[in-house]
Structure 1
């Protein structure tokens, strides 16, 4: 089952991520699990870009679901262009979507995926409203 990326979304960040030799499996292409690392790194790069550190504190971001559609094989050596989009911001969450291409073929989608992030009060162990300075980054 392929999960579709919504048309109505906002581009918020682009990351260049190198494919490492160790990312490949015995079949000579990037292991499927590694795509989730690329998506995670792109999401962290975006959060870092506006000063939100993803370190443990009293509150922070938690990923509550994630998916990836594998469309074409990727192999070493390569540099990936991972575009990060957001959609559907709510009081406590936001959907993130990623499109993975090669820097040498930016118009060819090799994979796409995403995750839902929720702001969590770690002390209360429940979802909480985004801090206003972070929520302002999600305005679509």
Structure 2
């Protein structure tokens, strides 16, 4: 199984009053990684895969450790944990080699922009997604496990 890797820079404006990345900013990090991932799935050349658009149906995030500002980017690993008829689930880890800061999942629905409605995943898209699929229990993001940071 392949994982998509995205190098995400931290911005000074991402910090909250406590000096760590604000919880809402992590959604933007996930979005940047997801867009990069989905763009690469379409071969980046306007190919037919996911070229019609997609919408987010659900996010789930477990904050494991605070992330403080620094000049080095964090790595966001993305992979597919579920492929349905008209949706897919992407899991993520925002991490360094030493530790994981966030685990998350996003349910994405392919969308027909012209018809303004969800559409089914094509056979071509499914074949590409399967190359990034890991459906084992240990690979799922957003597990709600005991290691989540309690604020």
Q: With the length of structure 2 as denominator, give the TM-score of the two structures.
A: 0.74
The answer to whether 1:65 aligns with 2:76 is: no
> 5 Å matches for 1:34-113?
34-51=25-42, 59-77=52-70, 78-102=72-96, 106-113=97-104
Aligned partner of 1:13 in structure 2 is 4
User: Which one has a larger percent strand, Structure 1 or Structure 2?
Assistant: 1
Residues 1:52 and 1:92: Cα distance change in structure 2 (over 3 Å): farther
Q: How many residues align?
A: 126
* Deviations 1:82-135 (CA, angstroms, capped at 9, x unpaired): 100111101111100100112xxx241111111000112234433211233322
SS where residue 30 of structure 2 aligns?
Answer: helix
Distance in structure 1 (CA, Å) of the matches to 2:86 and 2:111: 8
How has the CA–CA distance of structure 1 residues 59 and 98 changed in structure 2, closer, same or farther, with 3 Å as cutoff? same
Any unmatched runs of 5+ in structure 2?
Answer: 45-50, 134-151
1:52 Cα deviation from its structure 2 partner: 6.4
Which residue is equivalent to 1:117? 108
Q: Does 1:25 align with 2:21?
A: no
Please give the alpha-carbon distance, in whole angstroms, between the structure 1 residues aligned to 2:98 and 2:127.
30
Consecutive unaligned residues of structure 1, counting only runs of 5 or more, are 1-9
Q: Does structure 2 retain, via aligned residues, the 8 Å contact 1:121–1:127?
A: yes
